[in-house]
Structure 1
Amino acid sequence: MGSSARQGVAAWAITAACLIVFMGIGVVDPILPEIGHQLGATPTQVELLFTTYLGVMAVMTLFAGNIGTRLGRRRVALLGLALIAVFALACGLSGSIPALAVFRGGWGLGSALFTPTALVLLLALIGHAEKAIMRYEAAIGLGMSMGPLLGGVLGSHGWRFPFLGAAALMLLALAAVAVFVRVPEKREPVRPVGDVFRAYRHPAFLAVGITGLLYYFGFFLLLGYTPLFLHLSTLGLGLTFFGWGLLLGLGSTLLAERLLHRVRASRIVIGALAGLTLLFVLLGFAPLASGVKIALVVLSGTLFGLMNALLTTLSVEVSHMPRATATSAYNFLRWLGAAAAPVTSGVVAERLGAPVPYAFGAVAVALAVLLMALAARPIDAARSSDPHVH
């Protein structure tokens, strides 16, 4: 097998592992109400399963780049997959919300090591930044669609089964990366963690990062809180978010690729964020039938997928920093926003009423629209000056 063919196989192995890892995020979605019912947990306690996962991811992404430099990208990817498999199994065997929250935090540690490393590996294996990012986002979209479906099907037999199924799939991903991925490790200097924060000195990159923080607050509010809001069966939730995830993948690949070559990136982001602001208002406060709200959730996957691809692309292209540093800096902010959303939605719903979390989502995304409108010119200028764009 030639060198280019080996690289192609390695890139597909990383892609498949990304898909499986992101299945692990969505697999919890359909079983949240059942976990709450079986373990006698409040909405806030149930949402901790997302918040601990995402909070650990946010903090650990600051160190993932340096860990990858010290140990090698491949080793870190394998370590991340192994940790996910172990903690997914632990979740399936646990019997209380505190234990589940702790084990989900461990799962987040594994994901924090794997996900930024996987993007750096794909960028190295594929070479073309935009193609690598589209591949990465397509894997995320498919994973986020298949995860809820797996959770819905297995969860209809008991809430433990989706965790056990996820652990088995992670072991398959671990085996695929161990066998097929052989990447020459370049000797790179270990950069201080402060380099991540220096990336924020670039105004265009800081604007993209804060937009990501606000946007992912909305993203994970919808993903984490909506299962408690819709009052569907486990399988019904699985099917709903399966459809949402399919459109997420479509938006992050075909739609994003076509629009990026026709329209300025900042304009697409502003339009998509404005659409999501309206979505949150309609979901929470419009007098719509439940079937219409389910359809809105599914269709929103297109805008969410488009935003995922656009912000990831912009974070790489406007930073003028090494890609590993830019990836860590962007991921820290986006996972920070993501971690705040689930537990905030639980507290707000308990104290102010079930629809009110969507008002918080609408405000967060509307602030992102304002920020992107103010920063549009420097962002487009920074992107056009990046040699990798052309």
Structure 2
Amino acid sequence: MTVHHGAEEHASSPFKQPKAVWAVAFACVISFMGIGLVDPILPALSSKLHASPSQVELLFTSYLVVTAVMMLVTGWVSSRIGAKKTLIAGLMLIVVFAALAGTANSIDGIVYFRAGWGLGNALFIATSLAVIVGSATGGFNGAIILYETALGVGIALGPLLGGELGSISRRGPFFGVAVLMAIALVATVFLLPKTPKPQRRESITEPLKALRHRALATTSGVGLLYNWGFFTVLGYSPFLMQPISPQQLGLVFCAWGVLVAVFAVWGAPWLKARFGTARTLYGNFVLMAADLAVIAIWWDSKPTVIVAVIVAGTFIGVNNTLVTTAVMSIAPVERPVASATYGFVRFIGGGLAPFVASKLVASDGNATVPFLLGAGTVLAAGLLLSTVHGALARADAGASVQPELDELDRVEREDEAEVSAGIGNES
């Protein structure tokens, strides 16, 4: 196991990048727009398609659960056809299924097409993070900041676009993403150089096997728990703000997304430098839980919910950057494998939370229980994180444990030699 020290992390600005990196980052922005795109039109979809809130929340569940499960095969695919072809395949699937979702005449049709959209999203998200980390200048931390900037900008613009296009037609947001993703596809084809196939073909079971490593399993569990709180806010709070127009909902979530971006790019690094990763996240989880508790208590006060939702962007921005950095820094596996494993676990929480919230509200008649549950999962994330405090402190000190390919090859050769020796002894 090789220990890398962090001199490279302070090399240059994360925003001075080659064209290829910007092409992938632009595609990331559009991809992440798809997460919050449907937020402003959730109540309208419920009304126009005569669907219950729990049926509408399946738009998140089908999209994110399929994204999560398919994260397990992204490394297997990209290690055989290369990163560029994997990105292109993911983008093409998103274009096709986003357009098909726009043509659907029922909530079930949109849910199914969102699942296909999630397949493309999985191929794209896991591979894009690996490409940005591998190609960006400014070191590993700079690459993560750039990736989280794309996430924040996409999450901010998605609801704004969804609200504007949704005010014209419920089909508008889906067709809008299809067009923008087509532009991102063209940019990726022409601006991203051909990427060589990895020297080692990844096994399809590697992301699951990686969960045997305590550090990765723990930080992935942290991601699942805080994403439960995150997507309870993102997925169900639009129903608490009614009656307001899609444009107004879009503005609320745009303001939320701006705070996600600002605190992901500037707030998280500043807090990390001042307090360290672990202490920053402990405090952040407590504050985020308190914010969710405010919604739980005053769920029937529209102004309170709007303010609390916007403020939540602060905590989510810090979480996104620092938890992603922590996963990539302390996971004792290759970064593409760590990315796929982490994505698989955390998106399960994001996919299930809105659906569970809608079911709890339907049975209880108010939103107290689902948002208190979200607050509880966020607090649990902080408690779970404390079990890898030492590893986070070592990563902050400038050392990240990552296996080198040549060392992996050496270990495999040693294993083969041991097996051969055992067979020879038996004979």
TM-score normalised according to structure 1 size: 0.95
SS of residue matched to 1:386: strand
In the TM superposition, 1:68-87 aligns within 5 A as: 68-87=78-97
In the TM superposition, 1:216-231 aligns within 5 A as: 216-231=227-242
Instruction: Give the C-alpha shift of residue 173 in structure 1.
Output: 0.5
Quick check: 1:126 aligned with 2:136?
A: yes
The sequence identity of aligned pairs, in percent, is: 37
In the TM superposition, 1:331-350 aligns within 5 A as: 331-350=343-362
Instruction: Give the C-alpha shift of residue 205 in structure 1.
Output: 2.0
Cross-structure match for 2:269: 257
The one-letter amino acid of 1:329's match is T
CA contact (8 A) 2:295 2:304 kept: no
The one-letter amino acid of 2:48's match is Q
SS of residue matched to 1:159: coil
For the residues of structure 1 that align with 2:192 and 2:385, how far apart are their CA atoms? Answer: 38
Instruction: Give the C-alpha shift of residue 192 in structure 1.
Output: 1.7
Cross-structure match for 2:314: 302
1:191 corresponds, among 166, 179, 202, to: 202
Cross-structure match for 1:352: 364
Cross-structure match for 1:372: 385
Quick check: 1:25 aligned with 2:35?
A: yes
Cross-structure match for 1:3: none
2:179 corresponds, among 136, 152, 168, to: 168
Report the CA distance shift for 1:182/1:320 in structure 2 as closer, same or farther (over 3 A): same
Flag structure 1 segments of 5+ consecutive residues without an equivalent: 1-5
Range moving further from structure 2, 98-107 or 183-192? 183-192
Instruction: Give the C-alpha shift of residue 249 in structure 1.
Output: 0.3
Cross-structure match for 1:53: 63
The one-letter amino acid of 2:42's match is L
CA deviation digits over 1:63-94, x for unaligned, max 9? 10111111110011011111101111001100
Instruction: Give the C-alpha shift of residue 289 in structure 1.
Output: 4.2
1:386 corresponds, among 385, 400, 404, to: 400
Report the CA distance shift for 1:61/1:306 in structure 2 as closer, same or farther (over 3 A): same
Report the CA distance shift for 1:45/1:259 in structure 2 as closer, same or farther (over 3 A): same
Instruction: Give the C-alpha shift of residue 383 in structure 1.
Output: 5.4
CA deviation digits over 1:150-202, x for unaligned, max 9? 01111111211111111111101001111100043143212223321232222
CA contact (8 A) 1:149 1:239 kept: yes
For the residues of structure 2 that align with 1:132 and 1:270, how far apart are their CA atoms? Answer: 24
1:158 corresponds, among 160, 169, 176, to: 169
CA contact (8 A) 1:76 1:114 kept: yes
Instruction: Give the C-alpha shift of residue 97 in structure 1.
Output: 1.1
Range moving further from structure 2, 308-317 or 291-300? 291-300
SS of residue matched to 1:261: helix
Instruction: Give the C-alpha shift of residue 95 in structure 1.
Output: 0.5
SS of residue matched to 1:211: helix
Cross-structure match for 2:100: 90
The one-letter amino acid of 1:99's match is G
Cross-structure match for 2:121: 111
2:332 corresponds, among 285, 297, 320, to: 320
For the residues of structure 2 that align with 1:30 and 1:148, how far apart are their CA atoms? Answer: 6
Instruction: Give the C-alpha shift of residue 288 in structure 1.
Output: 7.9
Instruction: Give the C-alpha shift of residue 244 in structure 1.
Output: 0.3
The one-letter amino acid of 2:400's match is D
CA contact (8 A) 2:210 2:333 kept: yes
For the residues of structure 2 that align with 1:99 and 1:286, how far apart are their CA atoms? Answer: 35
SS of residue matched to 1:156: helix
CA contact (8 A) 2:49 2:107 kept: yes
CA deviation digits over 1:245-302, x for unaligned, max 9? 0010001101112122222211111111111110111011148842232112112101
CA contact (8 A) 1:123 1:129 kept: yes
Range moving further from structure 2, 140-149 or 365-374? 365-374
Report the CA distance shift for 1:134/1:7 in structure 2 as closer, same or farther (over 3 A): closer
The one-letter amino acid of 1:87's match is F
SS of residue matched to 1:191: coil
CA contact (8 A) 1:318 1:383 kept: no
SS of residue matched to 1:190: coil
Count residues with an aligned counterpart: 384
| Superposed CA RMSD | 1.8
2:111 corresponds, among 90, 95, 101, to: 101
CA contact (8 A) 1:204 1:382 kept: no
SS of residue matched to 1:193: coil
CA deviation digits over 1:219-241, x for unaligned, max 9? 11111111112112211110000
Range moving further from structure 2, 300-309 or 190-199? 190-199
CA contact (8 A) 1:210 1:333 kept: yes
CA contact (8 A) 1:86 1:167 kept: yes
SS of residue matched to 1:22: helix
